[in-house]
């Protein structure tokens, strides 16, 4: 222990004669000094962050059991380390002593040792050992500048800042987590989290002996299977891998923030941050995000994509081992090669893009190779099945797989590419193989169809240039009008002729009209090839001008997710502004949940699917897309349903794109829909991802109840739907919110959880609301949910007999308030 730590020891030694044992409150414990449970003695770290002493779990069944532990000084229930997990004391007679040889010993009423540090350090006599509780939460025993023992080497279920989680190759010391048996029982549970050095290191979470999660290998930026691990304002992180040790650690970027990682008894690794105002731990993120994070869900050579249904598919060049099992939803058998000719038969490598890399437990690596050398090495060895770069930031290093490829999943971004060995007949053009056979196949194909392709290319290019000239004229007019050259952007979408769209909609006939949005009517269109589309034609007097139109085009053009409506193209001709979307046959969600006849067509599994789908779509907008997008007008009518009743978020005219480091913004022009707007947005014009979270919470309550938040009426009170749900929750009857038409098919626990999550989303303060990654996790797992606080707009209001049928609003806030 160095510098100031040793000074603390020295001062403590000088002061010890002036303190009686019953008043001990220092951060150190000297030889022959003790901490007695029956005298409520503790050690408190110098900065006051942590406290060491005796505690009892909150479970009524364990009221007589006493444990020695360390907890945050502001919350005795926030225990971060437990000494005697396997041997609890049965009364308050426990005493902690420091022996002359530097061993900490926990004694029971008969002075038997129930736990000790068992320090086996060295060779020379120890003169003045001291135990000290550091302000990092680490309990150390040492002499001079050396530690004989430290609690950071013997973890419980928590990783604290500065702790090196991993494996020391020189000492063989393995720092890993073991969960509590239950939230109220600190004895070792079934779940462990370990950074394992076999092959190329990865973090594994196991439940008993079964792997339930794998982090993937470190790729220079993050663990391959943890895309949420990104630079952020709360903590920094690093991964160290050398001949002496392998470890991961995080440190707080802002010392005023309190954050820790905990492995719970269900095997979920979670990061929490402490909110002092509410004195609660808030879930920040989890290692596991969704069902695709279940280890090996799709079996060998299978890949999981959470945006697909079903999520499992086979990698390119592979097919299900058992088609019958696969089609029944049993994917454990995985996939097998279509063609086994993958050695010396003209084979090559196919690029698999943006994935969590396969399990590297039996892989090998070389940090000095480049990707070309890596391919050549793999090609020479018939047992090599795939390769990739080690470091995604510069493409350096070589990682080689031998044997089956297991636990692959696809990401929309922040994934990593790898190259899989395939027979020549299974290679796909553009997949990245450099073999001559592939080039020969491509050359033959190009020669056979060259003339036809050239003709089509010339026709396409002529037509595209004509359409681009038309768009350019309009853009030039706009610049001439505004003087703002920077407003010209490439829309990055196909441009349709207005005549083509008019023909597809029978000249925008009333019989083709699907509905009327805030900015104009929407029509069903059918192109000559039979493709069905939805056509949004902006009204001449629409409040959505060219700015909003271009914003919607640029926003949606860059989004690809199964829970977002896909924009197929647009038209800008003279005064006409038209958007062409994929056609949603079941129209808007509002047509189902607010119509008593249509609502009977929905059962609870459908509603739960819709609730989860909307959450995943919002998560993509807020976090997983290339842009951070705030929708600002999420409501039932802006959620469309496809043939399979899958929800798709639509209408991005009011959406705002945020930069990577932006978290909120403000506006004097508040646009949106009454009943869905968050308090901070409706009143002060402040919007953020938490504004969308509020709208989502309102929408979930509407889906469950079958009634609109705005205009909601109940004979017992004058609250809106949020207030009604809050009253039922406080009375312990949240399930009473569920519409009677669905009760025959509901799963009570899912209904109650959805209501609980919705109430967390509509809390008054944006800082109290969860982000969408937490919402998705809370809906798909059994983690303990925090208690919600009062929802926004929780005031009784005067209900008029007639409510306005118009939801769209535009409010200009006064600058002087």
Summarised one tens digit per residue, pLDDT across range 519-532 is 678 999 999 888 99
Q: For residue 664, is pLDDT > 90?
A: no
Residue 575: is its pLDDT beyond 90?
Answer: no
Tokens of 155: 């973890």
Residue 576 CB neighbours (<10 A): 13
Query: Is residue 145 flagged as an active site residue?
Result: no
pLDDT of residue 19: 37
In a 10 Å sphere around its CB, with 0-12 CB exposed, 13-18 middle and 19+ buried, how is residue 302 labelled?
A: buried
pLDDT for the residue numbered 712: 83
Higher pLDDT, 269 or 414: 269
Whole-number pLDDT of residue 73: 93
pLDDT band for position 466 (50/70/90)? low
Estimate the crossing angle of helix 748-761 against helix 772-780, to 10 degrees: 170
Residue-level pLDDT at 710: 84
Mean pLDDT confidence for 577-583: 89
Highest mean pLDDT among 61-70, 93-102, 515-524: 93-102
- Express each pLDDT in 594-626 by its tens digit: 988 888 888 899 999 999 999 999 998 888 776
Please give the pLDDT value at position 121: 53
Question: Choosing from 157, 359, 633, 768, which is the catalytic residue?
Answer: 633
Stretch 436-444: mean pLDDT, rounded? 51
pLDDT digits (tens, 9 = 90+) for 238-270: 999 998 999 999 999 988 889 999 999 999 999
Q: What is the pLDDT of residue 684?
A: 80
Instruction: Name every residue whose Cβ is closer than 8 Å to that of residue 726 and which is 6 or more positions away in sequence.
Output: 719, 759, 788, 790, 791, 794
Give the chain's largest Cα–Cα span.
99
What's the rounded Cα separation, in Å, for the pair 650 and 641?
10
Give the H or E element holding residue 79: strand 79-82
The confidence score (pLDDT) of residue 472 equals 45
Please write the tens of the pLDDT for every residue from 327-369: 888 999 999 998 888 887 778 999 999 999 999 998 999 999 9
Return the sign of the alpha-carbon dihedral for residues 288, 290, 294, 298.
negative
Q: Is the pLDDT of residue 651 over 70?
A: yes
Residue of 467 and 290 predicted with greater confidence: 290
Least confident piece of the model among 89-98, 283-292, 696-705, 790-799: 790-799
CB 706 within 8 A of CB 599: yes
DSSP 305-340: -TTSSS-EEEPTTEEES-HHHHHTT--TT-EEES--
Coil vs helix vs strand at 274 = strand
User: What percent of the chain has a predicted confidence (pLDDT) above 70?
Assistant: 80
User: Would you place residue 668 in the very low, low, confident or very high pLDDT band (cuts 50, 70, 90)?
Assistant: low
In this predicted structure, the answer to whether residue 796 has a pLDDT above a threshold of 80 is no
What is the per-residue pLDDT for 471? 46
Which pLDDT does position 335 carry in this prediction?
96
For residue 410, the tally of other CB atoms under 10 A from its CB is 19
Tell me the range of 17-21, 537-541, 645-649 where mean pLDDT is highest: 645-649
Model confidence at 574, pLDDT cuts 50, 70, 90, reads: confident
> What CA–CA distance (Å, rounded) separates 775 from 611?
11
For the chain, percent of residues with pLDDT exceeding 90: 51
pTM of this structure: 0.56
């Amino acid at each position: 222990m160095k510098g100031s730590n040793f000074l603390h020891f020295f001062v403590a030694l000088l002061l010890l004669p002036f303190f009686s044992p019953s008043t001990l409150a220092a951060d150190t414990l000297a030889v022959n000094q003790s901490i007695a449970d029956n005298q409520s003695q503790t050690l408190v770290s110098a900065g006051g962050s942590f406290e060491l002493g005796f505690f009892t779990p909150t479970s009524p069944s364990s009221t007589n059991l006493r444990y020695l532990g360390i907890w945050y000084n502001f919350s005795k229930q926030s225990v971060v380390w437990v000494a005697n997990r396997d041997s609890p004391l049965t009364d308050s007679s426990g005493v902690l002593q420091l022996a002359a040889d530097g061993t900490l010993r926990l004694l029971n009423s008969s002075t038997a040792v129930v736990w000790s540090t068992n320090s086996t350090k060295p060779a020379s006599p120890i003169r003045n050992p001291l135990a000290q509780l550091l302000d990092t939460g680490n309990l150390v025993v040492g002499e001079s500048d050396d530690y004989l023992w430290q609690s950071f080497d013997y973890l419980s279920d928590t990783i604290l800042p500065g702790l090196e989680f991993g494996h020391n190759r020189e000492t063989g010391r393995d720092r890993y987590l073991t969960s509590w048996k239950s939230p109220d029982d600190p004895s070792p549970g079934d779940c462990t989290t370990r950074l394992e050095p076999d092959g190329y290191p990865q973090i594994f979470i196991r439940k008993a002996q079964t792997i339930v999660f794998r982090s993937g290998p470190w790729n220079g930026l993050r663990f391959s299977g943890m895309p949420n691990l990104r630079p952020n304002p709360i903590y920094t992180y690093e991964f160290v891998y050398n001949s002496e040790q392998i470890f991961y650690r995080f440190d707080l970027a802002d010392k005023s923030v309190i954050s820790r990682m905990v492995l719970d008894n269900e095997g979920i690794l979670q990061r929490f941050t402490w909110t002092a105002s509410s004195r609660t731990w808030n879930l920040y993120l989890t290692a596991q995000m969704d069902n695709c994070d279940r280890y090996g869900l799709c079996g060998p050579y299978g890949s999981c994509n959470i945006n697909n249904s079903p999520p499992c598919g086979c990698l390119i060049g592979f097919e299900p081992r058992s088609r019958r099992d696969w089609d029944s939803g049993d994917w454990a058998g995985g996939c097998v090669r279509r063609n086994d000719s993958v050695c010396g038969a003209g084979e090559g490598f196919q690029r698999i893009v943006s994935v969590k890399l396969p399990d590297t437990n039996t892989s090998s690596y070389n940090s000095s190779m480049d990707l070309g050398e890596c391919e050549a090495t793999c090609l020479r060895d018939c047992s090599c099945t795939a390769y990739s770069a080690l470091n995604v930031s510069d493409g350096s290093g070589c990682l080689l797989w031998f044997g089956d490829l297991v636990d692959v999943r696809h990401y929309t971004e922040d994934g990593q590419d790898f190259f899989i060995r395939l027979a020549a007949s299974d290679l796909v053009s553009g997949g990245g193989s450099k073999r001559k056979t592939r080039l020969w196949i491509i050359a033959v194909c190009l020669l056979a169809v060259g003339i036809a392709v050239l003709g089509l290319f010339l026709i396409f290019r002529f037509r595209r240039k004509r359409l681009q000239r038309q768009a350019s004229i309009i853009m030039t007019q706009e610049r001439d009008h505004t003087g703002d050259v920077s407003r010209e952007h490439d829309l990055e979408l196909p441009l349709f002729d207005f005549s083509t769209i008019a023909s597809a909609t029978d000249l925008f006939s009333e019989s083709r009209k699907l509905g009327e949005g805030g900015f104009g009517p929407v029509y069903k269109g059918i192109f000559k090839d039979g493709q069905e589309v939805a056509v949004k034609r902006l009204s001449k007097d629409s409040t959505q001008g060219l700015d909003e139109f271009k914003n919607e085009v640029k926003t949606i053009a860059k989004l690809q997710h199964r829970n977002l409506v896909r924009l197929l193209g647009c038209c800008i001709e003279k005064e006409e502004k038209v958007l062409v979307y994929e056609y949603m046959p079941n129209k808007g969600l509002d047509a189902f949940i607010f119509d008593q006849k249509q609502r009977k067509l929905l059962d609870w599994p459908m509603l739960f699917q819709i609730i989860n789908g909307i959450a995943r779509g919002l998560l993509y907008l807020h976090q997983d897309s290339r842009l951070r997008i705030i929708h600002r007008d999420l409501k039932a009518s802006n959620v469309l349903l496809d043939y399979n009743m899958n929800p798709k978020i639509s209408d991005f005219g009011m959406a705002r794109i945020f930069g990577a480091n932006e978290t909120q913004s403000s506006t004097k022009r508040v646009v949106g829909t009454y009943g869905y707007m968050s308090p901070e947005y409706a009143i002060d014009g402040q919007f953020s991802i938490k504004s969308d979270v509020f709208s989502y919470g309102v929408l979930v309550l509407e889906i469950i109840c079958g009634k609109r938040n705005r205009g909601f009426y109940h004979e017992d009170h004058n609250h809106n739907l949020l207030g009604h749900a809050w009253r039922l929750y406080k009375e312990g009857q949240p399930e009473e919110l569920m519409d009677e038409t669905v009760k025959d098919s509901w799963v009570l626990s899912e209904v109650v959880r959805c209501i609980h999550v919705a109430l967390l989303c509509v809390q008054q303060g944006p800082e109290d609301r969860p982000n969408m990654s937490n919402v998705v996790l809370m809906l798909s797992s059994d983690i303990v949910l925090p208690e919600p606080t009062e929802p926004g707009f929780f005031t009784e209001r005067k209900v008029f007999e007639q409510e306005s049928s118009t939801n769209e609003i535009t409010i200009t806030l006064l600058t002087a308030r």
